[in-house]
A and B are shown apart, each in its own frame.
Chain A
């Protein structure tokens, strides 16, 4: 991994440390699966989601609300898909 990408990914990873355990768990699985393949568009979508307040983000990830932006919506799909349930 080149240094720039590594720094960007590391920054994103830290921003995935949240106030709610639910989100920590979802992001933990997400990185396990997508760290190597996340492209720049995905990085941007993730970054915009990470700007949200935790309760709002959890409302999206838990499916109680839907994202307006299609890129965000696509990222939410990936976060839902790698939720721990997918491992059962």
Chain B
């Protein structure tokens, strides 16, 4: 196979919030910067983020970054690194104000300051009472953010390569990174982007699950590429699930539906949440509701021909209330469930929403790996930010509105660190590692010539169903172990996928096969890591992790207060300590996570 080489100071893969924010930093500093993206930047999945971005601006009431930090550590179930969390919460005001200067149309108070609203888990005075901390632009925060940052990038001459599929990281025998291989979807041409700095901002891989709120583009491309290049993946057992996705479709039904009086029912029509959470009932926290739903389904009280979902009932509410307070829900029911929710209940299941783990980084956005007896040594030339990265600020569970903050703070930080490295230490392009390029070309070549191989669609479906069943929101020892074997088998099929269409122009079959190569790495990392972690923490909840005074709610700090590192090579696990020491303040000491 042939390829050409193009040289840049920096190459950024992904043009969602994190990639665009990093690119601003590099282009503003005058560095020749390429941004590769599968879809047009303003069609990145950041668009789907509606809730807002957290910052302790204190525009409506007193607030402090230290309180925000406390909430984030607690939300993470103490798995988040406290130095990175302090860094993020302290930087929040700065990045939000910068965004405002880029032209972000935040909602405003009468006095002209940014309007802030409350959001789950964000409290004042170290967990005392809810605080208004989220800055939003109506219900289009993510979208408005992308637009503001895209315009800024155009102004500072960032070079966009739109509809390019990144293939593999180019990493040499010393472990240094010098760019990526990529395919132009329009022509099928392969180009090596040779760079002094490579930044991954490729988003999450929510499509490993059958039921996912994520758009189809969320295939964990950067995470898969990093794994293939020998970079370990951190804390991949931690996925946030939303209790109410439309069964079979994944489309999110907002919590507001239960807030307005929606009731969850099993096949007997029973309001089962009364048994699991007698006080909060249907309004209990996300994880409690999700677990209860899974238990009902597992114990045979699910609904439908396969007994694999429960019902969200709002038929007792006045139609005017539904149409006025919950616009969009009626249409979603009709479009994706074939149900008129004014007359019939909606079928719902716990649905994968957000990837907490990812490519390990420090708070400077450098990718870090164990090396020479140290657990977090930077990989030269390689940076990552946003959902694909694990800084780790979300730990075992992310707070709402911290994802947009994460991509702004660490997008900027990764860009800033790359600028400093380019200025001070990395003056020239390191020669390309030919063997890494050859391996990447061989992967595409294998796919192009595979005969009697596996069907991409069927193999992906098998992976998604296995992940949903064996490593979903509520996890069981035997199911996990069985799931590991099943996913390993499916990985064997992924290595032999076959495409019938061999055309060069926008060959979507080829793109989907290449995406599946990335998804399967994430699926393996997730299920192997989850199988090994024998406690419950945050979003990782196991049936066999018992609630004792030493292990409240199954959380076992003595044995499991540590980050998982999964290596593709040999499906191997390693661990590293959680950074309990913040940058400047005292450690937020361990205690039971209760609200």
B508 near A84 with CB under 8 A, answer no
Knowing A21-B48, A84-B336, say if A64 contacts B331 (CB, 8 Å): yes
- The 8 A CB mask of A62-88 against B (1 = contact, 0 = none) is 111000000000000000100111111
| Option from B47, B215, B508 in Cβ contact (under 8 Å) with A55 | B47
B337 near A85 with CB under 8 A, answer yes
A10 near B331 with CB under 8 A, answer no
Q: Does B43 contact A (CB under 8 A)?
A: yes
- When distances are taken between beta carbons in the complex, the residues of chain B under 8 Å from A14 are 163, 185, 506, 508, 511
B45 near A19 with CB under 8 A, answer yes
Q: Does A33 contact B (CB under 8 A)?
A: no
Q: B506: nearest residue on chain A (CB-CB)?
A: A10
Q: Does B21 contact A (CB under 8 A)?
A: no
Within 8 A of B (CB), among A1-54: 3, 6-7, 10-11, 13-14, 17-22, 24-26, 28, 53-54
Bound: A54/B213 CA distance, A: 16
| Option from B215, B334, B508, B511 in Cβ contact (under 8 Å) with A21 | B215
A62 near B43 with CB under 8 A, answer no
Q: Does B42 contact A (CB under 8 A)?
A: yes
- When distances are taken between beta carbons in the complex, the residues of chain A under 8 Å from B327 are 64
Within 8 A of A (CB), among B280-317: none
Q: Does B46 contact A (CB under 8 A)?
A: yes
- The 8 A CB mask of B317-340 against A (1 = contact, 0 = none) is 000000000011001101111110
A84 near B215 with CB under 8 A, answer no
Shortest Cβ distance from B252 into chain A, in angstroms? 8
Q: Does B216 contact A (CB under 8 A)?
A: yes
Knowing A17-B39, A20-B48, A62-B335, say if A11 contacts B251 (CB, 8 Å): no
A25 near B163 with CB under 8 A, answer no
Bound: A53/B147 CA distance, A: 11
B506 near A7 with CB under 8 A, answer yes
- Name, among B42, B212, B251, the residue most crowded by chain A CB atoms within 10 Å (CB to CB): B251
Bound: A14/B511 CA distance, A: 10
A19 near B332 with CB under 8 A, answer no
- When distances are taken between beta carbons in the complex, the residues of chain A under 8 Å from B212 are 21
Knowing A55-B47, A85-B335, say if A20 contacts B215 (CB, 8 Å): yes
Shortest Cβ distance from A26 into chain B, in angstroms? 7
Chain B interface mostly helix, strand, loop or mixed? loop
- When distances are taken between beta carbons in the complex, the residues of chain B under 8 Å from A64 are 327-328, 331
Shortest Cβ distance from A58 into chain B, in angstroms? 9
B503 near A10 with CB under 8 A, answer yes
Bound: A11/B162 CA distance, A: 13
| Option from A19, A55, A80, A84 in Cβ contact (under 8 Å) with B46 | A19
- When distances are taken between beta carbons in the complex, the residues of chain B under 8 Å from A3 are 503
B338 near A22 with CB under 8 A, answer no
Q: Does B271 contact A (CB under 8 A)?
A: no
Bound: A50/B505 CA distance, A: 18
Bound: A7/B44 CA distance, A: 23
Q: B47: nearest residue on chain A (CB-CB)?
A: A19
| Option from B43, B248, B328, B337 in Cβ contact (under 8 Å) with A18 | B43
Shortest Cβ distance from A85 into chain B, in angstroms? 4
A7 near B215 with CB under 8 A, answer no
Bound: A87/B337 CA distance, A: 9
Q: A24: nearest residue on chain B (CB-CB)?
A: B216
Shortest Cβ distance from A2 into chain B, in angstroms? 12
Bound: A14/B42 CA distance, A: 15
Q: Does B143 contact A (CB under 8 A)?
A: yes
Bound: A80/B334 CA distance, A: 10
- When distances are taken between beta carbons in the complex, the residues of chain A under 8 Å from B250 are 21
Q: Does B214 contact A (CB under 8 A)?
A: yes
Shortest Cβ distance from B17 into chain A, in angstroms? 12
B251 near A62 with CB under 8 A, answer no
Q: B337: nearest residue on chain A (CB-CB)?
A: A85
- When distances are taken between beta carbons in the complex, the residues of chain A under 8 Å from B339 are 85, 88
B213 near A21 with CB under 8 A, answer yes
| A–B pairs, 9, beta carbons within 8 Å | A3-B503, A14-B185, A14-B511, A17-B39, A19-B45, A20-B48, A22-B336, A63-B331, A84-B335
Q: List residues of chain B with CB under 8 Å of any chain A CB.
A: 38-39, 42-48, 140, 143, 163, 185-186, 212-217, 248-251, 327-328, 331-332, 334-339, 503, 505-508, 511
| Known interface pairs A10-B505, A19-B215; 18 further A-B residue pairs with C-beta atoms within 8 A, sorted by A's residue number | A3-B503, A10-B507, A14-B163, A14-B506, A18-B39, A18-B215, A19-B47, A19-B217, A21-B212, A21-B216, A22-B251, A25-B336, A54-B43, A55-B47, A55-B140, A62-B328, A85-B334, A88-B339
Closest 8 CB pairs of A and B: A88-B338, A19-B47, A10-B506, A85-B338, A7-B505, A62-B331, A83-B335, A24-B216
